[in-house]
Amino acid sequence: MDISTLCIHGSDDTSHNTGSVTVPIYQTATFVHPAVGQSTGYDYSRVQNPTREQLEKIVAKLEGGADALAFSSGMAAITVMMELFRIGDHIIASADLYGGSIRLFHSISEKNGIIFDFVDRMDSSNVNSYIKPETKAIFIETPSNPMMQVTDLFAISKVAKENNLLLIVDNTFLTPYFQNPIDLGADIVVHSGTKYLSGHNDTLAGFLVVRTAELSEKLRFIYKTIGACLAPFDSWLIIRGIKTLAIRMEKQQENAIRLAIWLMEQPKVKKVFYPGLNTHPDYDISIKQARGFGAMISFEVDSNETAIRMLERVNLALYAESLGGVETLITYPMLQTHADVDQTEREKKGINDKLLRLSVGLESIDDIIDDLAQALS
Ligand SMILES: *Cc1c(COP(=O)(O)O)cnc(C)c1O
């Protein structure tokens, strides 16, 4: 079945016979047992809830995984995933990551005894030099946040397999509509469901999608123990969001391509980071491994004053954190998503006081361009 059809018909809810076209919201904490030692399949909503279960089935199908687990946020998903590791385990992560992941690794995982190497522009040639006997996993985001670097997933997955490492890929930016890391060899796919899967800037959610039943079993145990599960109503909102994922991704990408080209022509814009521009260094890898480029653009303006003025002058584009919704958002990574990242580390990556990030929304792109033009003038 085509992915756009799966977005709409990916659930298989048979637990009710009302003819309801949508999955019901099972707003219950617990479930009655039919008899001693018997279960309807549901015991307690931390472990499983029928609404959440349908959402998980949809996401597992979209990513081609054996299972998907739905969490209360993307960070909750990554935090639970880190419980697969123990003191002394070593993880190789790309240096350019969502700021929250960097904060989790530095301030919590390291305290718990996990050791990290952060690799700038990780690829199959340089990753080998970081592998040691304690290495257990490679964690990447592609395209990365906010510098839009693309990692060759197939090449990295070969290295991971040869060395018996888990390959973990944060696929938030492209979504399963444009990219399926499991097909390219990943073992675990991470999503902030808050972003494109929800699509409307109205709820938080997170996912782990796993390649194997074995990983599912391990993570389900941690999941029910820790309890960072997605509520029934929020699960329902994400099911609804996913129904329009295909059309949103197509249109937001179309808008992003128009905007990236426009930005390139602006004298006050010095650099544009968007993998859909054929001048982007990773354009060829993007074409090879993904079906699209997404709708996230970072760009550097000529001065800090221009950046601040733009953030203060925009009307239609909203100066806010987050991404992936129908509203165009403009973000200042230095002060927002990456505020907790060490300054030298941050600036080395290019996240400086002139860098802005756009999550291109679903508005008419002409209106967005008019807004950005007046803000930039
Ligand atoms: C937002 C985001 C996260 C964290 O997700 P939350 O839902 O905000 O907890 C993780 N990775 C990426 C790439 C993100 O954009």
Q: Which of 169, 173, 220 is nearest to 56 (CA)?
A: 220
193-202: average pLDDT: 98
Q: Which residues are catalytic?
A: 46, 98, 170, 195
Task: Give residue-wise pLDDT tens across range 324-335.
Answer: 999 999 999 998
What is the Cα–Cα distance from 164 to 43, expressed in whole angstroms?
36
Q: Across the chain, what does the average pLDDT equal?
A: 96
Task: Give residue-wise pLDDT tens across range 214-227.
Answer: 999 999 999 999 99
User: Are the beta carbons of 134 and 89 closer than 8 angstroms?
Assistant: yes
- Ligand 1 centroid – CA 173 distance (Å): 9
Those residues whose C-beta lies under 8 Å from the C-beta of residue 317, and which sit 6 or more positions away, are 328, 329, 330, 358, 368, 371, 372, 375
**Whether pLDDT at 265 is above 80:** yes
**Whether pLDDT at 62 is above 80:** yes
What is the Cα–Cα distance from 16 to 129, expressed in whole angstroms?
55
What is the signed CA dihedral for 194, 195, 200, 204, rounded to 10 degrees? 10
pLDDT tier for residue 103 given thresholds of 50, 70 and 90 = very high
- What pLDDT is recorded for position 154? 95
Strand blocks (E) in the chain: 67-71, 90-94, 115-119, 135-141, 166-170, 188-192, 206-210, 269-273, 296-301, 318-319, 329-331, 355-359
Q: DSSP state, 87?
A: T
Task: Give residue-wise pLDDT tens across range 158-167.
Answer: 999 999 999 9
- What pLDDT is recorded for position 13? 81
- What pLDDT is recorded for position 348? 86
pLDDT tier for residue 276 given thresholds of 50, 70 and 90 = very high
Partners of 139 in beta bridges? 93, 168
**Whether pLDDT at 372 is above 90:** yes
pTM for this prediction: 0.96
- What pLDDT is recorded for position 122? 84
309-335: average pLDDT: 96
- Ligand 1 centroid – CA 103 distance (Å): 12
Residues with CB under 6 A from ligand 1: 73-75, 98, 100-101, 141, 145, 170, 172, 192, 194-195, 204, 206
- What pLDDT is recorded for position 125? 86
- Ligand 1 centroid – CA 170 distance (Å): 9
* DSSP string computed for 221-242: HHHHHH--BPPHHHHHHHHHHH
**Whether pLDDT at 16 is above 70:** no
**Whether pLDDT at 31 is above 90:** yes
What is the signed CA dihedral for 9, 57, 245, 143, rounded to 10 degrees? -150
- What pLDDT is recorded for position 345? 84
Q: Which domains does the chain have, with CATH numbers?
A: 3-242 (3.40.640.10), 247-376 (3.90.1150.10)
Residue % of the chain over a pLDDT of 70: 99
Pocket test for ligand 1, best of 192, 197, 322, 331 (most atoms within 8 A of CB): 192
Q: Which residue has the higher pLDDT, 103 or 125?
A: 103
Sheet-wide strand order for 206-210: 67-71, 206-210, 188-192, 166-170, 135-141, 90-94, 115-119
- Ligand 1 centroid – CA 377 distance (Å): 32
302-325: average pLDDT: 96
37-63: average pLDDT: 97
Task: Give residue-wise pLDDT tens across range 119-158.
Answer: 988 888 899 999 999 999 999 999 998 999 999 999 999 9
Residue % of the chain over a pLDDT of 90: 90
4-15: average pLDDT: 89
User: Are the beta carbons of 155 and 184 closer than 8 angstroms?
Assistant: no
pLDDT tier for residue 59 given thresholds of 50, 70 and 90 = very high
Pocket test for ligand 1, best of 69, 142, 148, 194 (most atoms within 8 A of CB): 194
What is the Cα–Cα distance from 111 to 87, expressed in whole angstroms?
9
Residue 76 in tokens: 């909750």
